[in-house]
Structure 1
Amino acid sequence: MPLANRTTSANGSERDQVIPLLDSVKVKTNRPGRPRKRVKVLAADKGYDSKDKRAALGKRGIKPLLPKCVWKNQKNRGRPIKISVPRFQQERCFAWYQRKYRRLVVRWERNPDCFNAFLSLGAIHIWINRIILVG
């Protein structure tokens, strides 16, 4: 389920937007007291793996579930460690956008404000459908 959205230029780096995107996420719970502002776990592919990102996530108290980016000239030593990264959730969200919101996939909108508005409407529609089907 999409918690926050962030749009970048076509030639911009997605990896630089991870930390600002996590800062914009606010997780509300039904418990009394101040709501949490951070997620507990971040799952992404190995393109987002770096020491700087892992350190920044660790400083924020977020557990990174990132597979190690291994260069081809390095040899694997010792027993291989299997890390399962739950990427199904991200791919499912992209599939929802592709199936129901063609305007977002093709990006007919040239104005970034209009595109962000349609992106927010798509996220709201996904959340409403999820609440109606589950609740």
Structure 2
Amino acid sequence: MDRAGAPACPWRPQKGLPNKSGDAWCARWRGNRPIPRRLSTKFHLAVDGRGRPLSILFTPGQAGDNAQLLALLDAICLNKPGPGRPRKRPEVLIADKGYAHDSTRRTLRQRGIRHVIPERSDQVARRVAKGSAGGRPPALDKVIYKKRNVVEGCFNRLKQWRDLATRYAKRASLYRASLVLIAAVIWLPGST
């Protein structure tokens, strides 16, 4: 007996699209095409010198780091005791080679933010190929750059929480909420 099978493409609501509350699944789409069975997210952190989160940005996994830097810095707001405006600008920004773009360096200089970012090998080769027109290499204070591991330590502290490390929360808003809550616990006295 010949029976008709299941339709090749049954209709169902597509995953990755926002539901009625506007909450989407995390990073289900790349451009305009879905990525089947791959949920990836990335969170970007700015931390203070003691490894406590100052600002958190949450993006799909395919988002680049450099594009998020200025938004991450704009989200920093530290209230100091006493009168005065809250602090919005770091004394020095320590970042890895993922942020070593000329436009990023230019913007940080315009904002008056001192930065320690090593130069990528392709940038070195391009500068050397230009000869004397290539300019001087950006200064890199290696003593200050060694303190970049504080950020990695903060990531490790955040991932000690099982909910964050195993990604039980599949919705973007729930994942961000758990990340912010864990960051608040890190700021509590005695947790450092």
**TM-score, with structure 2 as normaliser:** 0.60
Within-5 A mapping of 1:83-94 = 83-84=141-142, 85=145, 86-94=147-155
Within-5 A mapping of 1:63-78 = 63-71=114-122, 74=125
Deviation digits for residues 19-53 of structure 1 (CA, Å, limit 9, x no counterpart): 00110110222242222222221111111101100
The secondary structure found in structure 1 opposite 2:60 is coil
Separation in structure 2 between the aligned mates of residue 37 and residue 73 of structure 1, nearest angstrom: 32
Counterpart in the other structure of 2:35: none
Separation in structure 1 between the aligned mates of residue 106 and residue 124 of structure 2, nearest angstrom: 25
Higher helix share: 1
Q: Which runs of 5+ in 1 are unaligned?
A: 76-80
The answer to whether the aligner puts 1:17 opposite 2:68 as a matched pair is yes
Separation in structure 1 between the aligned mates of residue 84 and residue 53 of structure 2, nearest angstrom: 24
Moved over 6 A (4+): none
Q: Which one has more relative contact order, counting CA pairs under 8 Å at least 6 apart?
A: 1
Structure 1, 23-32 or 89-98: larger mean CA deviation:
23-32
* % identical aligned pairs: 32
Q: Which runs of 5+ in 2 are unaligned?
A: 1-51, 129-138
Q: Which has the larger radius of gyration?
A: 2
RMSD (CA atoms) = 2.3
Higher strand share: 2
